């Protein structure tokens, strides 16, 4: 990632910019729409990438489903900044948030399987996450035509591999 960019936890005043970035892709059917109000209520779960001018270029969130399982959700990188490592950086920051909260089993439901495969996630059956299915999928209008693919990463195993290397 370029040296003039940095990753940080989101603040309440970021909610409108996060919503704008998220909904650019939501309008194209690539992710769920999220209003500034909904984001503000969960602002402690968001991380962002910002440039020196204060512009938000990427965002992502950790959505907890149980004390040990969470979703890497709402990952979006400003179109002009694609392909420069911001997606990888924002997922890494969401994973860091998960570790701080003692959560090591993270997953994503995504239309971008190649991105998640490139950053070390394994394709898994979504049935592994019944909490997600119960809370979100059962009430979703696209539940019988969902083409999102489930990817997961075990952050504990990753830390152990890092220590052994």
Interface ranges with ligand COA (CB under 6 A): 25, 30-31, 75-77, 82-88, 108, 110-112, 114-115, 118-119
Token pair, residue 24, equals 């650019």
* Residue least distant from ligand COA (Cβ): 87
CB of 106 to ligand COA, least distance (A): 12
Among residues 17 and 108, whose Cβ is nearest to ligand COA?
Answer: 108
CB of 11 to ligand COA, least distance (A): 21
Among residues 118 and 156, whose Cβ is nearest to ligand COA?
Answer: 118
CB of 7 to ligand COA, least distance (A): 12
CA distance 112 to 147: 11
Among residues 36 and 87, whose Cβ is nearest to ligand COA?
Answer: 87
Among residues 25 and 67, whose Cβ is nearest to ligand COA?
Answer: 25
How many H helices and E strands in the chain?
A: 6, 7
* Residue 158: exposure state from Cβ atoms within 10 A (0-12, 13-18, ≥19): middle
Short-list 37, 111, 100, 34, CA closest to 70: 100
CB of 111 to ligand COA, least distance (A): 6
CB of 102 to ligand COA, least distance (A): 23
Among residues 82 and 134, whose Cβ is nearest to ligand COA?
Answer: 82
Q: Reading across the β-sheet that carries 122-123, which strands appear in turn?
A: 5-9, 46-51, 56-66, 69-77, 105-110, 149-154, 122-123
CA distance 65 to 67: 7
């Amino acid at each position: 990632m370029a040296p003039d960019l940095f990753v940080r936890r989101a603040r309440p005043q970021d909610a409108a910019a996060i919503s704008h970035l998220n909904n650019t892709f939501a309008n194209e059917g690539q992710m769920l729409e999220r209003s500034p109000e909904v984001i503000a209520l969960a602002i402690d779960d968001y991380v962002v990438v910002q440039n020196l001018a204060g512009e938000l270029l990427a965002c992502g969130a950790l959505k907890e489903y149980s004390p040990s399982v969470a979703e890497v959700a709402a990952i979006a990188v400003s179109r002009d900044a694609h392909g420069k490592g911001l997606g990888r950086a924002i997922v890494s920051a969401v994973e860091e948030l998960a570790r701080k909260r003692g959560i090591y089993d993270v997953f994503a439901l995504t239309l971008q399987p190649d991105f998640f495969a490139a950053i070390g996630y394994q394709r898994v059956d979504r049935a592994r996450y019944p909490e997600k299915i119960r809370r979100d999928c059962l009430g979703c209008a696209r539940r019988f035509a969902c083409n999102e693919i489930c990817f997961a990463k075990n952050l504990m195993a990753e830390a152990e591999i890092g220590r052994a290397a």
